[in-house]
A and B are shown apart, each in its own frame.
Chain A
């Protein structure tokens, strides 16, 4: 029989340390839904999604019960809509967003990702239509997530798209001003976007993916934080080992749940995303892990080094625990979704520039950050360009999910509710980037040798 301490340890992680499976996300190809007639296209999309994912939520709930581990989110990602809708004779894809929203509601999932365009090298007519549909789509839907990939290591950065996304984000905030600009929490701008990401808002089902696939994202900052409390004052070698062991255990849960879910749904198992995804709950924070390593407040000097080590150890521990690793894989640092990050930002220690440095060494990027409502579109575009440059040069995924909080200034706060949490409005530099963004064109792909 199993060791009773092992049993108690697992139960303790679930009961007291917020161990959970953050998401099981079903990726569904919509390539067979293309049609010149918008109505027919929407019908096909609705039917395909509600057929493939009809049992997703039920299977997820059954597994939760049988294993006794929470699966917080059940979600769906689809082929980037700019590709699916490319042949539709229409100027706006808002109707398709509404169809995705309806399908998500029918299936009972809380988010559906894939209202997306991949424009790192240039925009097709369909890509422009999609990008320009984003603000209205975010206003009229509840569960649809949009993403646009504006750069990559191989293609460089599409600065025309970067400039447009600044304006799109501003417009989305204005159209959803009643909810503190909530629409912007569902729009993410990527560089080096991945095709098998299970996490929202950036999930989409890449064109290299199979017909239907199941990807899993794990979580567990609370478990890591607790484990580190037992190695106080010890050298980093010990800290890294402790994180690796914990990450292994967390990831094994994801692997087990993913395999079981894919078997029951009759869908191939894709990847486990080796992630540390925080929630606004106390005791489930990535910032608090960094502070446990010896930083007074997250964001002070040493934070980047601490995060680099955490991120690397999470991957090393997780890799052995799963047979296929993918997605974004790394520690997430979404400000509004992390109780410790919120506190650090409110105290003024964690600022945008430090967050940008942190994104060089961890998963994704400037995530769930509120900035003053009067921040110009050019400044937002410039922030996106900076982040895309970090991704492009370092061959990693970076992203920006930023909320120019309507009518709010530094010291204010936006309330997103639920897992999206709440974010203090953070200051941005007041000097203009207007002329920089106005240039447009494309930043050439970087050299991949002579690295320094």
Chain B
């Protein structure tokens, strides 16, 4: 099962490192990263494999949200299916 991780916040050193470390802690494998900085704002989207995640997905969503708040970022984890369903026939 894949999930999309969306990270938005003010750019600074160590955002990717911090998010990836947190995901690694949950045994989530990052498959792809696309990131950009627009007017000082960091936006990153990651595709991640969550099948082997060591907590239930709903808990991962909550935990990553909390970690995001600690880092001053918005971190959102959503199953990939929702985007596939909406934008692919």
Contacts and interface: CB of A to CB of B under 8 A. Distances in A.
Q: Is B truly associated with A? A: yes
B13 interface: no
A66 B61 contact: yes
Interface string A1-15: 111101101110000
Contacts of B57: 65-66
Contacts, number: 62
A441 to B, nearest CB: 51
A252 B83 CA distance: 10
B39 to A, nearest CB: 16
B77 to A, nearest CB: 8
Nearest to A2: B83
B84 A67 contact: no
B62 interface: yes
A10 B78 CA distance: 11
Contacts of A276: none
A231 interface: no
Given A66-B78, A68-B78, A10 B45 contact: no
B82 A6 contact: no
B82 A256 contact: yes
A11 B6 contact: yes
A257 to B, nearest CB: 9
Contacts of A1: 31-32, 34, 45, 47
Contacts of A255: 85
Interface in B59-89: 61-62, 76-87
A69 B62 CA distance: 14
Contact of B85 (A4, A62, A253): A253
Interface in A250-273: 252-253, 255-256, 260
Nearest to A255: B85
Nearest to B61: A65
Interface in A1-49: 1-4, 6-7, 9-11
B60 to A, nearest CB: 9
Interface in B15-62: 31-32, 34, 45, 47, 56-58, 61-62
Contact of A4 (B34, B80, B84): B34
Contacts of B56: 62
B82 A4 contact: no
B76 A11 contact: yes
A67 B81 contact: yes
Nearest to B80: A2
Interface string A269-295: 000000000000000000000000000
Interface in A62-81: 62, 65-69
Interface of B: 4, 6, 31-32, 34, 45, 47, 56-58, 61-62, 76-87
29 contacts: A1-B31, A1-B47, A2-B47, A2-B83, A2-B84, A2-B87, A4-B34, A6-B83, A6-B86, A6-B87, A7-B4, A9-B87, A10-B82, A10-B83, A10-B86, A10-B87, A61-B58, A62-B58, A65-B58, A66-B57, A66-B58, A66-B61, A67-B79, A67-B82, A68-B78, A68-B82, A249-B86, A252-B85, A256-B82
Interface of A: 1-4, 6-7, 9-11, 61-62, 65-69, 249, 252-253, 255-256, 260
Given A67-B78, A67-B81, A249-B86, 17 more contacts: A2-B84, A4-B34, A4-B45, A6-B87, A7-B45, A9-B87, A10-B82, A62-B56, A62-B58, A65-B58, A65-B62, A66-B58, A67-B82, A68-B61, A252-B86, A256-B81, A256-B82
